[in-house]
Each structure stands twice: as C-alpha cells, then as structure tokens.
Structure 1
C-alpha cells in the first residue's frame, strides 16, 4: 500500500493526525477546566466565544461525545498509517510492534500530556478557539453522537446518575468561603472579611449579639415623673423600651425624637409618654441573623426585643448590631468598643464577667469557644464545673484566665492573656 501512497504524503498525513489528536485532547481538558463562573460572567456580557462555550457545556455528554469520537478516529487512523510506514522500513514482522511503540510515545508526549497540561493552565486560550470547530463538528456528527450518548447515558442511569446537563454546578456556603479566601489580592482584605461575615450570619442568632436584659436602659413607668424626664433628656440612646415595673412588661418603644412633642408641653404626663411609644417588636432568641436582617427590612424596624420560649425578655437587638457583624465595629478604640475590657501594662486584660465572648473574640482577635456560654462568667464556670470559692486559674485553648473578683455567685472580673497552647486543665 505504501507504493500507492508516497511516503512523504503518509508522513504529512500522520503529522496532521497527531496535531488533530492534540487538538481534541486539549479541547477536552480546556472545556472541562474552564472557570464556569467567569465564563457565565463573560457570556452575560455578550462575549460570543463565551456564549458558544456555554452552549457546548450545557450538555457535557454531547461535548465529550464529539471530542472522543474525533480523538479516537484520528488516533486509530494515525496508528494505521504509522503501521504502513513501519512495515515499509522494518518489514511485516517487527514493523507493527515498532510502530505501536513509537506512536504511543509520540502521542503521549505531543498529543496528550503537553497539550492537556497547557489547556489545564490556560483553559480559555484553548476552549474559546476550539469552540469554533467543535460546534459545527457536533452538528455534523450529531446522529453518531446521539447514538453514543443514548448508550452511555443509559449506563450512567444504572449507576444512579440522573442529571446529565451541565447547568447544575453550584457552590455551597463552605465552598464559597474557600473561593473568597483564595481570591487573594483580587478582593481587598476588609471586603473579604465582610463577605465572610455575611456567609456566617446563618450560623449566628440574635441571642449571640443582643444586649442582655441587665444592660438594657429603659423607662420604668413606676419611677417618678421627674426621674423619667431626666432619663429621657440625658439618654445616650435613640430608642428606649418603656415598661411598667419589670422589663418583661414592656409597653412600647419610645423614639426620643418624638419626646420633643410632650417635653415642650407645660405639663407632661406618663400617659403622654405611653402615647408616643410605638408597639414593641418581639424576636425569638433563636432567630438567625440573616433572617432577622430581612425581618427588620420587611417590618420597617430598627430594634427588637429578644424573648425566650416562655416569652420572657432576654435582651434587645438592633439593626446596627447586625450590620456590625458584617462590617465590623464602627469604632476602633478597644476601650470604646468594649467597656468591659481594661488593658494592662503587662499585655493582659482585666475583663468583666458579663463581657460577651463573641465581642471579646472580635475585639482582641482571640478564639474562645462560642458554641456554649455567651459570657466570660459562663465560660469560666463551664470549665471549672463548680463555683469558685475564691481566686482560681484555668486555661481555655490559648487563653489563660485568672479569676480576680467573685460577688453574689458571679465572677465579676478576671485577668486574661494569651498563652502557649496546652491541654485544658485547672490550676
């Protein structure tokens, strides 16, 4: 047969087939390695190559089918031509073996490893140009591709794979966190922290960030009128709860901007204060922050009263509290952010027992556990497993704690500092 075809033509055809094999191999890797989210963005921007690749990837079974049909065809044809050439030079006995060995090495290097590696590194440079040829080739070979897909998809369904289209790719929350972490300099550090905080809203409830009830500054209608008016005039808060006798008996929320309406009168009554108070908005303590953020928006509210399963008031939470979980504190001074934290000259901190653990972690960059007690007092008691009779020391993770003051069954203050990690133990 080599007499019918000049050897130069056979060598040229073999070279062309190896190039086509490299094209199909690199196209497969490039198409499968391309960043789908970047591709979707480019396609939505109207880039024609991205639109074409998106169409091809919408049915990966058809795309892989046409690529493998083309690749197997050119590889088999290349093997036949290589055998003819080898027989011409080495005879019919050793020629096929030599052709198989040499062609395997050539295809492995020049038509598989090298083009696939390049396509994996630069998928867009391969996928976009390849789409010009693959789309019409898919239309040309569609009957054969359809037949191959019918058989292969049937086998896949036997293994439990039911969805064949390529539009189901999505990221869960943990994968999205990894994407944000790996963005590097593409996203500024502060913006990355904000994005990660938004993703974490689902894991945080209003109970974690609320102002506890013993810190809530409210107006008790059982107080005398002069004390109430003095409290209104000197209050540092914009909105305060109005209750009678006990904070569990909340009557409403008073916006101090509306207080001017009755403060300007000659005679002010408690009834006038109640009249200006808006109906309270109650929030279950287990409500996730991302849900409560939407609820505040829908209810046109900025503050809510947090209650437990029995309806007792646990504290209050504001829209600003949730926003601070996303963007961070609105002030940068440690003492200003946490009045319970008192830095010491030796690098330690004297911290009040009522300090919120999440606030401590954010303010000081520590990693105290937040899945249990909400306050430092509760955390210390949990690890001691008993109420201390006096000063005691313990270590939680990398944070060492020394109880300073105990009053009325409450750890009122403790000195804390970072220490080398050791196993949890009581001293």
Structure 2
C-alpha cells in the first residue's frame, strides 16, 4: 500500500499489508517503515515498453503514475500492462460479461458495446460519433432514461430486456437477436 503524508500526492513510501498490520499492532511508526521502501513514480506519458522495465524493478509490486504537475493519477501493476496488451484476464471469482441464456445472452451493463457487437456478430449498434461505451449506456441512450427491470427495448437487430436495474444504473440485460435478422442470415 502507498503510505502518504496528509494527501495522496505526498507519498512517503510503500508498505505491504502484513508489514503494516504488524507495525500497527507493535505501535511502530508506519511512516518510518514506509520510508524504507520508497515508491516508484512514473509519468503518465511513459510508453508501455519502458513501463515494463520499471515494473521489473518494482519486483512484482506496482508503480505510481503522476501527471505533468506531479498529481497522482493512479497505479499500475504488471497485470494491468499485460491486460492492455493481450486483453482482460478474468479473475477466478469473476463471472463472464456475456453468458449464453437459451436463445439469447445475459449481458452485464458494464460490458463494452464493441465487445457485445463482436460476440453477437452484429455491427453499427452505436455511431462512432456517439459517446457510448457500455451496454448500460446504450440502453439508457435508446430509452432516454434509466430503464426499469422488465422494460423491453429494440435496436435492430437486437432486443434488450432489462433484467436488473435500479435508479442509478443498469446491471444486467438479456439480449436476443430479432427474428427477421436471424431469417436474413440463413
């Protein structure tokens, strides 16, 4: 974990969770422990190839990413870089974003629209000019507001049935190809 003085942009160093818990239980100074392991900080403009070399020096940990003003933007792990190159690796407890469900698919609202188009072999669900990235964003745009569970929306060649949603977001959608689209394919 990064240990900071007052605010996120003042990083003292890095401490492993186990070390921090032992230090806290013993009443030791966590800041002193953190200063023994300084954070590795990189600019957000660093290219991925050079970032790999920096991550090797971090010995499997992570590096802190800052912008041109030194403001922390986040952190990067070796897995983040690998996923940027090779695509997302699902966690052991992570369910797939698109699951076959009878004659359709159950799709998480957070699923990328382009991933849905590729998986279902359809095109042009979204215009390139539109700022829609997820399935939830797509059904909200089509509906004009956040739909409720049970709402059915059509966007040729697909039909979307809202399975799980609340006042703030769409979590799960059932998608089927419209009949006339299936007939045209054959």
TM-score of the aligned structures, taking structure 1 as reference length: 0.29
Structure 2 gaps, min length 5: 57-61, 182-186
Name the counterpart of 1:259: 16
1:338 positional shift: 5.8
Structure 1 gaps, min length 5: 1-218, 220-241, 285-290, 423-427
Name the counterpart of 1:320: 82
Q: How does 1:276-315 map to 2 (within 5 A)?
A: 276=37, 278-283=39-44, 292-297=47-52, 300-301=54-55, 313=73
1:400 positional shift: 2.7
* Structure 1 residues 321 and 385, CA gap change in structure 2 (3 angstroms): same
* Equivalent position to 2:141, from 350, 362, 382: 382
Separation in 2 of the partners of 1:342 and 1:263?
39
Separation in 2 of the partners of 1:370 and 1:307?
33
1:322 positional shift: 2.0
* Equivalent position to 2:110, from 348, 354, 363: 354
Separation in 1 of the partners of 2:75 and 2:114?
16
Separation in 2 of the partners of 1:276 and 1:304?
12
1:320 positional shift: 0.8
Give yes or no for contact 1:259–1:273 (8 Å, CA) kept in 2.
no
Name the counterpart of 1:249: 8
Separation in 1 of the partners of 2:36 and 2:127?
41
1:277 positional shift: 5.4
Give yes or no for contact 2:132–2:138 (8 Å, CA) kept in 1.
yes
Separation in 2 of the partners of 1:281 and 1:391?
47
SS in 2 for 1:405: strand
TM-score of the aligned structures, taking structure 2 as reference length: 0.55
Name the counterpart of 1:415: 174
Higher helix fraction: Structure 1 or Structure 2? 1
Separation in 2 of the partners of 1:253 and 1:348?
50
Separation in 2 of the partners of 1:421 and 1:315?
48
Q: Indicate the structure (1 or 2) with the bigger Cα radius of gyration.
A: 1
1:411 positional shift: 1.1
* Structure 1 residues 421 and 306, CA gap change in structure 2 (3 angstroms): farther
Higher strand fraction: Structure 1 or Structure 2? 2
Q: Deviations over 1:344-378 (max 9, x none)?
A: 5414332322233355456x354554943222212
Separation in 2 of the partners of 1:309 and 1:398?
45
SS in 1 for 2:107: strand
Q: Deviations over 1:215-274 (max 9, x none)?
A: xxxx5xxxxxxxxxxxxxxxxxxxxxx376xxx9364895xxx73994696646532246
Aligned length: 162
RMSD of the TM alignment (CA)? 4.8
Name the counterpart of 1:270: 30
* Equivalent position to 1:343, from 96, 99, 106: 99
Give yes or no for contact 1:283–1:305 (8 Å, CA) kept in 2.
no
